[in-house]
Structure 1
Amino acid sequence: MLIMIILNYLSKLGMIVVLTNLGELIDGLGRIHSKGLYHGGLGSESNYVFIGECLKVINIKGDLDEFNTDEDRENKKKEDITDLLGMLDNWFESILAGGKRSWLECQHFFDFVNRAKTLNLDYDVFAKKVACHPFLLEADGRMSLFVEYDRRRNAPTTRQQVAVALTSSSDFANFKSWNSTSTVNNMDSYMRGVYNHRNYSGDVEDLLRYLRNLHHHYHEHGLAAGSMEIVDRGVTTYIRGFLEVLYKNLEI
């Protein structure tokens, strides 16, 4: 999912930001906003230029001082992000055979964005939640989220929130028999090795515990998977969509 994007802005200041993924593109917009500027036209294809495999954003010239209130300035910055994501949504829909729904992780991301847009989140919160979505993370970042959510599952201040989400949300219905014999038998050997090291029930809480342990065994005990990318690929293959559903239910 990584693409090389060149965001060229503020030519009068000679500033060029080279970005390696969509999360960094959102961060790049944040840097534009930190200079007191906004784009105001990221919903229009005329403000994007493809050069080889790179996407160049042009025509950045709006000044946030045009607006009289902090609320209006915050809304304008948030609008930049939603316009960008709307353009990317349409782009993915047009280039993927079968549309976004043929790439489950991509569909989860844009579903999350569309839901977050309805919640009246502050600009900083909205930008962070979108930029940190699993779809935009590298393999180790994705797997580290299982560690964080398992920590919350056991922490006194967040235990109740996680328990309610895992047991009451219909989003988790498809994962309640995650360790069926056929699924476990089809897992790669390193995944079965971690699974057989502990006793796990078929409930969602134990699925989260298992995935936390998978990450732990890789980093602490030299899990024989070769790389975290292979671990993440195995999780995506056999327990697809679970991380994205966790993020949706625990982050907003």
Structure 2
Amino acid sequence: MGYFVTVEPGVNLYVEDINPRGNKTIVFIHGWPLSHKQFEYQFNVLPAMGYRCIGIDWRGFGKSDKPMSGYNYDRLADDIHTVVSALQLENFTLVGHSTGGAIGIHYMARHNGYEVSKLVLIGAAAPIGFTKETANRLLTETLNDRPKMMREVTNTFFFQYITGPFSDWFFQLGLEAAGWSTAAIIILLRDEKLDAELQKILVPTLIIHGIHDKVIPFAQAQQLNQNIRNSQLIPFQYSGHGPFWEERDKFNQLLIQFIG
């Protein structure tokens, strides 16, 4: 089931709600510059096992509206809070990948972990995002040749081999975003840090990170693990930045075990 939730006047977020009658709810927040569709290989499995899976496209990405403003952690976290409130979600697991993990961290701090019982961070872009050098290069490419930028992101994203058709599919996910929102998030990842948020996370937290990650170094996962109380770090030995696909069976099983 897909529908839109209004998060502010004139801005509607797309929500994919699979198995709404499931016993336990998992909310998925995608990474930059993708959409909820990146979690296809979780949505194939988890709803059939009784879980309600909710994928949210951030503003500016996927099927959501693409306003010119609102690309900061406060607004992005508030958008998630608005969706959670509109759907009257309770006691759910929040799963965030890459920038989605950073948004999830800020949600926990800004909204006191509202209705979140457990947190899962996958290759989270925190406590810092991109280095200034990487961000400026990506920004220049985004503003001048966004398809080239997205192709390079696709090529560095995975450790394991991906087929040409899969690469094309992944590439197209990134191009569904607006150019301006793609650029705005690069600036956010360059300029904002989330160190102060980590101590405010009080729920059990599972940190999953590929040891071959070329987008967000594995050392950042270790830093998260050191600073988030009641957290556990699981290295994925055969993954880059996409363990939800590269080691999807292991990932899905870990997620099930963690949720309980």
TM-score scaled by structure 2? Answer: 0.30
Q: Which one has the largest radius of gyration? A: 1
* Larger RCO: 1 or 2 (CA < 8 Å, sep 6+): 2
Which structure has greater helix proportion?
A: 1
- Give the TM-score of the pair, scaled to structure 1: 0.30
